[in-house]
Structure formats: C-alpha cells, structure tokens
Structure 1
C-alpha cells in the first residue's frame, strides 16, 4: 500500500452572507497520489443554483467536494477558490475541511488534513 501524507491549508472569510474559501492541498510523501478529493462542509446552507469551479461538485446544500489532481511529494495543488452565497446572513459559520478520498493511500498523520474553523461574519480571513 502506498503511503502519502496529505494536508490542506488555506483560509475562510464570511461577510454579508458570502462565504469565501481559499484552499490548497499538499502531499508530504513519500508516494505520489494520482488524485484526491477534499470535502468542505459548512454549517449554513448555500443558496441554490450556484456554479462551482470545474473540479468541484455539490455534495448537498452544505457540502462541496473538490478534486486536487495529481499530487507528487512536496508539491502543492492548484488553489481552489469557492465564493458562495449562503441562505440568509448568518452571524457565523463553522467550516470543516477533510480528505474524502486519497486513492487508498495510508496516511500516518491524518490531523493535518482535518480542520474545523469558526468563521464570524467580520470579513476577516481565518487560517487553517
């Protein structure tokens, strides 16, 4: 079985009912990954009918799934940017980022790809 240490890093912000997520994934090795999928969940539902980047799809009204593409060791993925309008104007949102699929590779350090971020509606960028 291949071993790959996948991590996700970026930042999220919320202002006037608009949630922005900027995310990159990285493989710390030692094996390369042909592809992986990152799941982004948010605690407030998104307004219906919004377009996503070509490498992403909706997994429900509170979930987006995005492909990372091939990840060689110590190489970052393309940046994924989600700009979503939420239903209503919440005062805060909880965003969870996690690996949904990594091609079956063994990951000895799963904590660097699991994040939970409380995002107040301040417009500030909160890092993960």
Structure 2
C-alpha cells in the first residue's frame, strides 16, 4: 500500500481556510469556488486519481495538478462521501476530518503546468456498504480564478469489489 503525505504544517492551512469561512470570509471562499476572485491570479486546478472500496475501507489516491496560467502556493481539496466515516481515522499529514462524511486535505504548492504532491488516504467506514459515492472538489484555492471546474469537480461511484475506479 502506497501512502504519500503532504508537507508539514498543512493542517494549519486547512483549518485556517475553515476559520476564514466561519469568520465572515465565506463569501470570498464561495466566490473562489464559483470562479470569481476579483484581483487574484488565474489557475486551472485539476485532480486525477483513483478510488477503491473493499471490506469497509475506502482507499483514495489523488494527484492535484495546475494547468495555469499562474502557480498556486496552496489549495484545499474536499472529499465528501455518501457513507459515514468510522470514529477513529488515521489521516495523512495535511488532512483533517471535517464532518461525519467529509475530509479536507492541503495540496501544497501547485506549480505552473505541474503536479502537486500525491495525497493517499485509507478511510475506515462506520459500516460496511456495497457502494460509496465520493465527491471531489476544491474547497479553497487562495482566491484564484478557476474557470474550468470540469477537471476539479468529480463524482466517483466505488463498488465494494476492491477494484480501483479512476477519475
């Protein structure tokens, strides 16, 4: 099993993004997700990876990418599940649990026309289920404009077969 973590200090950035929403910057975060940013850079964040469900465990390998035209210092990817997570989770560095069915992870730097760090997760589910829907999207991107959401918003159905489903 390959699990690669993101850089040290990532939890702070993910938590800070959440705090910004709670402290009234939620409108700016929502605008960043909708493609509006005002004076921020323009970037095209994309996620590629695979999801596998087997025996009550959901394995996710995700590679963030930036197709430009500007580099990003950081972004936060959100993973929402159709099934509840078990109470105890061992998450990769830079990832936090954000609810009963949600995990957020810092991507680290996203260079212009380059890939970020691999994010690998093994999530324990509360109950074994025959299928899980995984929704992947960008929660925070530093205020950048991203006009192409087709490559950073994914919905993946994983059946409890152990097979990997790519996105």
Using the size of structure 2 for normalisation, the TM-score is 0.75
Could you tell me how far 1:83 is from its partner in structure 2? 0.3
Q: Paired residue for 1:46? A: 85
1:83 to 122, 132, 147: 122
Higher relative contact order (CA 8 A, sep 6+): 1
Aligned counterpart in structure 2 of residue 108 of structure 1, from 143, 147, 151:
147
Between the aligned partners of 1:65 and 1:92, the Cα distance in structure 2 is 21
CA deviation vs aligned residue, 1:3-23 (integer Å, no higher than 9, x gap):
000000100000111100000
Tell me the equivalent position of 2:65: 26
> Equivalent residue for 1:8?
47
Higher share of residues assigned strand: 1
Q: From the two aligned structures, give the one with the greater helix fraction.
A: 2
Query: Could you say which structure has the larger radius of gyration?
Result: 2
The runs of at least 4 aligned residues of structure 1 exceeding 6 Å deviation read: none
TM-score scaled by structure 1?
0.97
String of CA shifts for 1:69-107, please: whole Å, max 9, x gaps.
Answer: 111111111111110110111000000000000111111
Structure 1 unaligned segments of length 5 or more: list them.
none
Equivalent residue, structure 2, for 1:93: 132
Q: Deviations over 1:15-48 (max 9, x none)?
A: 1111000001000001110110000011101111
Q: 3-state DSSP class of the match of 1:4?
A: coil
Structure 2: distance between partners of 1:123 and 1:49:
22
